[in-house]
Structure 1
C-alpha cells in the first residue's frame, strides 16, 4: 500500500471527541448503520472499530445546512 492510498483511521473515542458526543453514541450509530466503520477482530469487553477520516469528513459536510 502506498502512502497516497493509505487512509487515516480514527478510533471510536477520537470520533466521539470530534463530534462532542459519548463513545456509546458513536457505537450506536455504527451498529445502526448510520456511520460506516471497519470492524476489527474482537478482543476484550467491547468490539473494536475504526472509522475512515474521509467518512467522518463526509458526515460533517453533509450535515451542514446550505443556504
Structure 2
C-alpha cells in the first residue's frame, strides 16, 4: 500500500471518526460537548502528530 498525503490524511480522519463515534455511542458526555470540544482537539492533535511523524521520517531517511 502506497502512503501518500490523501491516503494518510484519510486514515487519520477515519481514526478520529471511530473515536468520536465511540464517545457519542458510550454516552459519557453530551453530543454538543463531544462535537465542539473533543473532536476538534482530536483533529488538531492528530495533525500535529502527523506533521511530527513526517518530519521524523524525513530525518531518518536522510
Same fold (TM over 0.5): no
More strand by share: 1
Larger radius of gyration: 2
Structure number with the bigger relative contact order (C-alpha 8 A, sep ≥ 6) is 1
In the superposition, the TM-score normalised over structure 2's length comes to 0.31
More helix by share: 2
In the superposition, the TM-score normalised over structure 1's length comes to 0.30
